[in-house]
């Protein structure tokens, strides 16, 4: 057991934090709410040059052999200032899918430019009908067609779908669940950019009989891909938790600061016991979220699927219970000013709300945990 961050990890955290406070304060996120892409290629390029994007990959892929924990550190720091660049979509979900299941050529084509900050990815698995069961159900079909295939169906609310160079798409193919890499500029790919509650963008993507060649199939269709998508879902959920830690921490800090400075009835309102106790409860939920998320981040790399599921679901549950409690109470304790769009605290509420539904919500994770055989046995 070793729960100490390494020197490298501490340095990584500092570098990211410095970069964020210099290059991407919260005002930048707010400005990008008006942007049709929602993020900036120049900043992404910078991140690539700083080496962060490669950090969580094996050395063979040009990475630093990092663990998921490294990605979690980056995501948490980006979350603190709501930095909108598509790190999770490119590096954690679609990126890891390529790293885990792609062949060398595929990694060269689609992953390498990402690590350099020159391209981005999206993981397109959610559909109007499959809710969070993305590994278990795909209405999108991949049908054999001559030497290749054609892809038909619609994916919804695809994170970074509006901007990704390459989409990793789940589909029901001849051999079962199949993961397909699709360049976004291909014929038959129709993208519609949609606005999301957190001021970002996503895409609804239709594949209208898009032609797919065999070399665009990532990994082995069938059980292997089911396991892969299940794993990617956990990676995405763990990343959502890591980001929620950053979001929750800042919402908490802003609230404590407000309690110390806002004066009503001639005293700082933080002197009132009921609000003090609420703030302590926020602290508690925040610490539990931080702890559960660290456990998830460490277990998500493990081979024991059951332990991975349980640790990730426990963290996602705590996001829904504790992370949201922090966000809701942050608004409540800010009072009227917290309801105005001009104050930043509302942005944290909205991002927390979005993180709550990404990669499985409270009910889905609770049900999954409850059905794990290991839960009964423990």
> Is 242 in contact with 152 (CB distance < 8 Å)?
no
Contacts of 204 (CB under 8 A, 6+ apart): 154, 155, 156, 157, 158, 161, 191, 192, 194
Angle at 74 between CA 239 and CA 60, to 5 degrees: 90
From 46-54, 178-186, 229-237, 270-278, give the range in contact with a copy of itself by CB under 8 A: 270-278
Return the one option of a copy of itself, another protein, none that residue 288 interacts with (CB less than 5 to 8 A, by type): another protein
Smallest separation, CB 357 to another protein (Å): 6
The reply to whether 272 sits near a copy of itself by the rule CB under 8 A is yes
The reply to whether 311 sits near another protein by the rule CB under 8 A is yes
Smallest separation, CB 276 to a copy of itself (Å): 8
How far is Cα 215 from Cα 331, in angstroms, rounded to an integer? 50
> Is 148 in contact with 217 (CB distance < 8 Å)?
no
Return the one option of a copy of itself, another protein, none that residue 366 interacts with (CB less than 5 to 8 A, by type): another protein
How far is Cα 294 from Cα 290, in angstroms, rounded to an integer? 6
| Interacting residues with a copy of itself between 275 and 314 (CB under 8 A) | 276-277
The reply to whether 64 sits near another protein by the rule CB under 8 A is no
Contacts of 47 (CB under 8 A, 6+ apart): 19, 53, 85, 87, 117
| Interacting residues with another protein between 110 and 139 (CB under 8 A) | 126, 128-133, 136-137
The reply to whether 341 sits near another protein by the rule CB under 8 A is yes
* Tokens of residue 186, six digits: 């291909």
Of 3, 273, 342, 377, the residue at the interface with a copy of itself (CB under 8 A) is 273
| Interacting residues with another protein between 190 and 249 (CB under 8 A) | 192, 194-199, 202, 204
Cβ closer to a copy of itself: 273 or 376?
A: 273
With CA atoms as reference, report the closest residue to 93 among 278, 289, 296, 238: 238
The reply to whether 362 sits near another protein by the rule CB under 8 A is yes
The reply to whether 5 sits near a copy of itself by the rule CB under 8 A is no
Return the one option of a copy of itself, another protein, none that residue 266 interacts with (CB less than 5 to 8 A, by type): another protein
From 2-10, 47-55, 166-174, 218-226, give the range in contact with another protein by CB under 8 A: 2-10
**x/- letters, 254..283, toward another protein (CB under 8 A):** --x--xx--xxxxxxxxxxxxxxx-xxx-x
Kindly provide the b/e burial profile for residues 225-241, where b requires at least 16 CB atoms within 10 angstroms of the residue's own CB. Answer: bebbbbbbbbbbbbbbb
DSSP state of 124: E
> Is 145 in contact with 207 (CB distance < 8 Å)?
no
Return the one option of a copy of itself, another protein, none that residue 128 interacts with (CB less than 5 to 8 A, by type): another protein
* Tokens of residue 270, six digits: 């933080």
Residues that bind a copy of itself (CB under 8 A): 272-274, 276-277
């Amino acid at each position: 057991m070793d729960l100490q961050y390494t020197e490298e990890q501490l340095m990584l955290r500092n570098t990211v934090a410095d970069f964020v406070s210099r290059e991407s304060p919260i005002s930048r996120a707010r400005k990008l709410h008006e942007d049709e892409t929602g993020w900036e290629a120049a900043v992404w390029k910078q991140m690539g040059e700083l080496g962060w994007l490669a950090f969580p990959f094996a050395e063979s892929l040009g990475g630093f052999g990092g663990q998921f924990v490294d990605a979690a550190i980056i995501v948490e720091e980006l979350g603190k200032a709501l930095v909108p660049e598509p790190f999770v979509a490119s590096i954690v979900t679609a990126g890891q899918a390529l790293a885990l299941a792609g062949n060398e050529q595929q990694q060269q084509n689609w992953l390498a430019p990402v690590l350099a900050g020159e391209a981005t990815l999206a993981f397109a698995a959610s559909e109007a009908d499959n809710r969070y069961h993305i590994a278990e159900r795909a209405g999108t079909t991949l049908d054999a067609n001559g030497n290749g295939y054609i892809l038909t169906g619609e994916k919804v609310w695809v994170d970074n779908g509006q901007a990704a160079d390459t989409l990793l798409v789940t589909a029901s193919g001849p051999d079962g669940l199949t993961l397909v890499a699709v360049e976004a500029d291909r014929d038959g790919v129709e993208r519609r950019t949609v606005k999301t509650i957190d001021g970002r963008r996503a895409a609804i993507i239709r594949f209208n009989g898009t032609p797919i060649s065999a070399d665009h199939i990532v990994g082995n269709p069938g059980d292997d891909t089911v396991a892969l998508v299940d794993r990617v879902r956990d990676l995405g959920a763990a990343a959502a938790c890591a980001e929620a830690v950053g979001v929750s921490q800042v919402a908490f800090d802003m609230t404590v600061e407000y309690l110390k400075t806002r004066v009503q009835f001639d005293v700082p309102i933080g002197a009132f016991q009921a609000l003090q106790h609420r703030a302590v409860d926020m602290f508690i939920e925040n610490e539990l979220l931080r702890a559960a998320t660290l456990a998830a981040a460490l277990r998500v790399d493990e081979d024991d699927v059951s332990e991975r599921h349980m640790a990730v679901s426990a963290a996602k549950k705590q996001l829904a219970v504790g992370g949201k409690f922090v966000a809701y109470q942050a608004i409540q304790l800010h009072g009227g000013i917290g309801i105005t769009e001009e104050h930043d605290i509302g942005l944290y509420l909205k991002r927390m709300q979005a993180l709550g539904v990404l990669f499985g919500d409270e009910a889905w994770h609770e049900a999954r945990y409850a059905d794990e055989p290991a839960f009964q046995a423990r």
